[in-house]
């Protein structure tokens, strides 16, 4: 079992952040009435699915796991899935919860069908969690109590990482190197607790220590991408290209780390027009990296775009 699953919060007091949401849900359960459908809105790793499970535990009571039915809507997104899987289940005459994760990925035919089911069911409570609320039709949103999950703060994430290390018997010296590594993990996570824990797991050695070399490489990649972008924007394409190539080799050809580091660097730029153009191009780069076996080519192409972007006309 990976660390993110091992240390998934099991009850309200284990959840970090989102305290306003937890307080509201507790009040809802205390009323002992069937609440409206719940719509959990927020970025990945902010606790939507975890909070849904804890809510189910208290709302359904003993044996709750048997009455919580979870569907990843990205896998059950079509009209036929709604009709053949969700509709029959919703008619069961017991108190139950159907939790649809990534519900914003359901297609334009499935959502109206789901809305009709939500209107007619008597005992089934629906919990929908979404990353992009704009993809949810108004007819569904209007039937839900909405809860917005915020990205977790640096304090929330680092405190949880330290607690995990303590529970796993990993001794932290809190050297400047380690503290810098934890801060870099937070920056790479962008408020996503699951991603932060997964990044932590990568730098823990088999003998339960923090791999100093991995921390150095994490920090170095972040710094190198900062240097790469600034060199390219300053007109020195060769230096920027060489820095990108060095970073790719040094971090073991980890393009995900490069992408995260680029995202962090771009977020610090002051010129809003350049920042917007580079965010868009970074999205294009991600698609290109997923479809090539020669990553340096799209990485160099991105650097070349960064070099010319200050000279492009405003659109």
The CATH number of the domain holding residue 173 is 1.10.8
Residue 86 makes CB contacts below 8 A (sequence gap 6+) with 71, 76, 98, 100, 114, 117
The residue out of 117, 149, 181 marking a domain boundary is 149
Structure pTM? 0.77
Q: In whole angstroms, what is the distance from residue 185 CA to residue 93 CA?
A: 47
Percent of the chain with pLDDT over 70: 96
Confidence band of 206 (pLDDT split at 50, 70, 90):
low
On whether residue 3 sits in a domain, the answer given is: no
On whether residue 12 sits in a domain, the answer given is: no
Same domain, 134 and 156: no
Q: In whole angstroms, what is the distance from residue 130 CA to residue 222 CA?
A: 30
For 59, half-sphere exposure in the C-beta direction (CA atoms, 13 angstrom radius) is 29
Q: In whole angstroms, what is the distance from residue 270 CA to residue 224 CA?
A: 19
What pairing do the DSSP bridges indicate for beta strands 144-149 and 96-101?
A: unpaired
Nearest C-alpha neighbor of 271 from the set 229, 243, 301, 240: 229
Domains in the chain: how many in total? 3
Same domain, 64 and 135: yes
Same domain, 32 and 144: yes
pLDDT tens readout for residues 159-179: 999 999 899 888 887 788 778
On whether residue 267 sits in a domain, the answer given is: yes
Give the per-residue pLDDT at 218.
72
Domain interval for residue 314? 213-315
Cα–Cα distances (Å) from 260 to 265, 279, 293, in that order, read 9, 12, 19
Confidence band of 189 (pLDDT split at 50, 70, 90):
confident
Do 156 and 16 form a contact (C-beta atoms < 8 A)?
yes
Confidence band of 216 (pLDDT split at 50, 70, 90):
low
Confidence band of 59 (pLDDT split at 50, 70, 90):
very high
Q: In whole angstroms, what is the distance from residue 89 CA to residue 192 CA?
A: 32
Same domain, 137 and 241: no
Instruction: Kindly write down the DSSP assignment for every residue of 125-183, as one continuous string.
Output: EEEEEES-GGGS-HHHHTTEEEEEEPPPPHHHHHHHHHHHHHHTTPPP---HHHHHHHH
Q: In whole angstroms, what is the distance from residue 134 CA to residue 130 CA?
A: 9
Cα–Cα distances (Å) from 172 to 101, 150, 217, in that order, read 36, 29, 18
What pairing do the DSSP bridges indicate for beta strands 124-130 and 37-42?
A: parallel
Same domain, 305 and 197: no
Of 90-94, 130-134, 264-268, 310-314, least confident by mean pLDDT is: 310-314
The residue out of 210, 237, 256 marking a domain boundary is 210
On whether residue 157 sits in a domain, the answer given is: yes
Same domain, 116 and 143: yes
Same domain, 284 and 300: yes
């Amino acid at each position: 079992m990976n660390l993110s699953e091992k240390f998934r919060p099991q009850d309200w007091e284990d959840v970090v952040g989102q305290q306003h949401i937890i307080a509201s849900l507790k009040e809802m359960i205390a009323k002992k009435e069937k609440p409206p459908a719940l719509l959990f809105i927020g970025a990945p790793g902010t606790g939507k699915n975890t909070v849904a499970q804890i809510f189910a535990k208290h709302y359904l009571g003993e044996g709750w796991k048997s009455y919580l039915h979870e569907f990843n809507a990205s896998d059950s997104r079509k009209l036929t899935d709604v009709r053949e899987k969700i509709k029959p289940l919703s008619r069961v005459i017991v108190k139950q919860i159907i939790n649809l994760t990534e519900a914003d990925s359901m297609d334009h035919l499935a959502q109206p069908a789901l809305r009709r089911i939500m209107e007619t069911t008597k005992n089934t409570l629906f919990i929908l969690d979404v990353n992009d609320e704009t993809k949810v039709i108004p007819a569904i949103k209007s039937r839900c109590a909405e809860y917005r999950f915020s990205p977790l703060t640096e304090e929330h994430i680092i405190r949880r990482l330290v607690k995990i290390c303590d529970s796993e018997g990993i001794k932290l010296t809190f050297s400047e190197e380690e503290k810098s590594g934890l801060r870099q993990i937070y920056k790479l996570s962008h408020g996503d607790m699951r991603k932060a824990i997964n990044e932590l797991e990568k730098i823990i050695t088999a003998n339960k220590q923090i791999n100093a070399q991995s921390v150095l490489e994490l920090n170095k990649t972040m710094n190198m991408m900062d240097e790469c972008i600034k060199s390219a924007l300053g007109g020195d394409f060769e230096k920027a290209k060489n820095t990108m190539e060095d970073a790719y080799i040094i971090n073991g050809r980890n393009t995900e780390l490069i992408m995260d580091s680029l995202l962090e660097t771009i977020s610090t730029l002051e010129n809003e027009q350049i920042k917007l153009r580079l965010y868009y191009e970074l999205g294009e780069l991600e698609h290109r990296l997923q479809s090539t076996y020669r990553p340096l080519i799209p990485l160099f192409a991105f650097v070349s775009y960064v070099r010319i972007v200050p000279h492009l006309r405003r659109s």
